[in-house]
Chain A
Amino acid sequence: MYILEREYLAALATLLLGRGYELIGPKLAGGVITYAPLAGIEEMARKIRDAQGPGHYRSSPGEEDVWFSYVPGAASLKPWFNPPKCLVCRMRGSADEFLNETPPVTAPKRAFIGVRACEVAALRMQDKIFLEGPYADPEYRARREGALILAVNCSHPAETCFCASMQTGPKATTGFDLALTEISAKGKPAFLIEKGSDAGGELLGELPVRMATAKDKEAAILVSERAAQQITREINPERAARGLAAGLEHPHWATLESRCMNCANCTLVCPTCFCSTMEDSTSLSGDTAERWRLWDSCFVSEFTYIHGGSIRKSGASRYRQWLGHKFSHWHKQFGASGCVGCGRCIAWCPAGIDITRELAVFEASAPATARETVR
């Protein structure tokens, strides 16, 4: 582990930009932290505080001398790897005679800085979906290959966060090239840096770092421990899965239906939701036909349309798909919960629905397992 004094983070940015990377990091835009291209470290959001709660988000200037005193806003890394809209194929000709002229998928080299542990976990989950199934998605693969992940371990989790209980944070353990923890080293603000890959190690070789002392390492451990202690919300993934599996016809779905506005915000801000639809079009002259992929959501009633009507007609059934998929079905499909505990769906729900509380309702009426009964 290494120490980089905080003022030299700019050197890392300059190094990456000089090597032709597009640098993407947290930026304040319209009062919300978002991931955006950065021309240098000066443009990165620093010393910002965010207040989050069900249906609530507000940012303000921070008082402490801590750069990463906030967590991400509505935008996750998702759009950088799975864009909201992308070309799937392009045909030229007509129904009589056409050629497939789909251009090869390319993506610029990108380095992502300030990526949080939950985002890294979400990215690993997207890898499972888009790269590790029977078919790999070319768009995702092009964007993922060669992307550098420079993580920052959280010190100031939001009130909506529950990564600790999902075991995805607040400290990143795998899936990054470098991981930074903001500490004070020898009285100066600094980052303790962990190397996660050879590419990360190679970058370190170009930076003014020194070896971390035992004291530096302790300081970093303390930052992550304190962050974990500040997290108040929690979900027990196994119990949630059991509650949902037993509660497919629970009356609480009707209560949720009456509160949910069917806006699909939760699925759009969720860093692991991956659903998409296709849109076909032809040029005015008709000699070019394109198929585009667009983000979709299981909250949209046409999502399940088959000839004769949609399968999930009621809002209750669509809400059940969202929670059921994330917290129950996902385990069988991808070997883990589909939630990384980022809290976005809580903060960005206009109705202020808090999934940690709703899941508790299903858990409470599910039959307990033998072990729990004994306890």
Chain B
Amino acid sequence: MTLTTLDAPMSPLPYRIRQVTWENRDTFSFALAPAGEGSCERFLPGQFNMLYVYGVGEVPVSISGDPAEGDMIVHTTRYVGNVTKAMSRLRADQMIGVRGPLGNHWPAGEAKGKDLLIVAGGIGLAPLRPLIYEALRRRSDYGKIVLLFGTRSPDDMLFRNELRQWRSRFDMDVQICVDRAHQDWFGHVGVVSSLIPRAGFDPYLTHAFICGPEIMMVNTVEALIKRGVSEEAIFVTMERNMKCGIGLCGHCQLGTAFICKDGPVFRYDEMAPWLTIREM
């Protein structure tokens, strides 16, 4: 029998890095498989794992791969500091510790029969990619599927192949914008929330799933509400310092919520009271 996170919830399981893909200059994807026997844990779109770098530390990272893909688990990480930098130096065949899957998931079932609006800022596309894979697999469950993706510059793009494939589909609308562009960028320039007013979805029959920096989510929600989307149909993910990921260390609290066990996905109206207060 292999141990699971439930048996030893603080203890990472050794996984082997099967493949490293650099998405852009600071963001890389790992495909991981258990080092011993046993298979990857099943996960739902929106869940995360605690990833442990030998001797360095452990950080929460969303699962960015396809939930139907059973023998590998994919994570996409941007390196910003100590642990993620050490992680960026790891190569295929080296090892990493995995604890999870943890947290709740995007409530995709609730969106059945409605338009699906997905809004991502930067690395925020990572936890939304599994949702897109799933939604396209059950394409007939939804009305329109719209992806709005904002990134700092064309060089910061990630998942280029997928974005190209999704853009070429007739049953999905993909809009990409950048904050800053050079001459060879022909797309939209501006913040992603500026795409909301003219995006093609029915505001009264839409479920919106948003992930990105907090300020981007706040602006996006504001634009959505202006268009008539109700707060109960908007879902956001929250990011806070996490040490345990399982509700025991207290670090991730935001008001009454533990982001790790009650989230990271929240219906916007549950988060709204806390988001307006500084330094909560």
Structural contact, B81 and A248, CB atoms closer than 8 A? no
Residue of A with least CB distance to B11? A89
Structural contact, A277 and B249, CB atoms closer than 8 A? yes
Chain B contact residue count (CB 8 A cutoff): 43
Partner of B12, one of A89, A135, A136: A89
Chain A stretch 293-334: residues in CB contact (< 8 A) with chain B: 293, 296, 298, 303-307, 311-314, 316-317, 321, 324-325, 329, 332-333
Structural contact, A100 and B14, CB atoms closer than 8 A? yes
| Distance, CA A274 to CA B253, complexed state (A) | 13
Chain A stretch 90-131: residues in CB contact (< 8 A) with chain B: 91, 93-100, 102, 129-130
Structural contact, B256 and A135, CB atoms closer than 8 A? no
B272 CB within 8 Å of chain A: no
Chain B stretch 3-29: residues in CB contact (< 8 A) with chain A: 5-6, 8-14
Range for the number of chain A residues in contact with chain B: 35 or more
Write out the residue numbers on chain B whose beta carbons fall within 8 Å of the beta carbon of A313. 279
Stretch in contact with the other chain, from B48-56, B67-75, B137-145 = B48-56
| Distance, CA A98 to CA B56, complexed state (A) | 13
A39 CB within 8 Å of chain B: no
Write out the residue numbers on chain B whose beta carbons fall within 8 Å of the beta carbon of A368. none
Q: How far is the CB of B127 from chain A (nearest CB, A)?
A: 16
Structural contact, A135 and B54, CB atoms closer than 8 A? no
Structural contact, A96 and B11, CB atoms closer than 8 A? no
| Distance, CA A152 to CA B276, complexed state (A) | 47
Structural contact, B9 and A291, CB atoms closer than 8 A? no
| Distance, CA A93 to CA B14, complexed state (A) | 11
Residues of B at the A interface (CB closer than 8 Å) are: 5-6, 8-14, 52-58, 80-81, 90, 93-95, 97, 239-241, 243-244, 246-251, 253, 255-256, 258, 261, 277-280
Residues of A at the B interface (CB closer than 8 Å) are: 88-89, 91, 93-100, 102, 129-130, 133-138, 248-249, 274-278, 280-282, 286, 289, 291, 293, 296, 298, 303-307, 311-314, 316-317, 321, 324-325, 329, 332-333
Give 6 pairs: A residue, B residue, CB < 8 Å, sorted on A. A88-B10, A97-B95, A100-B13, A276-B250, A278-B57, A316-B279
Closest 7 CB pairs of A and B: A275-B250, A317-B279, A289-B55, A282-B55, A135-B246, A135-B9, A332-B256
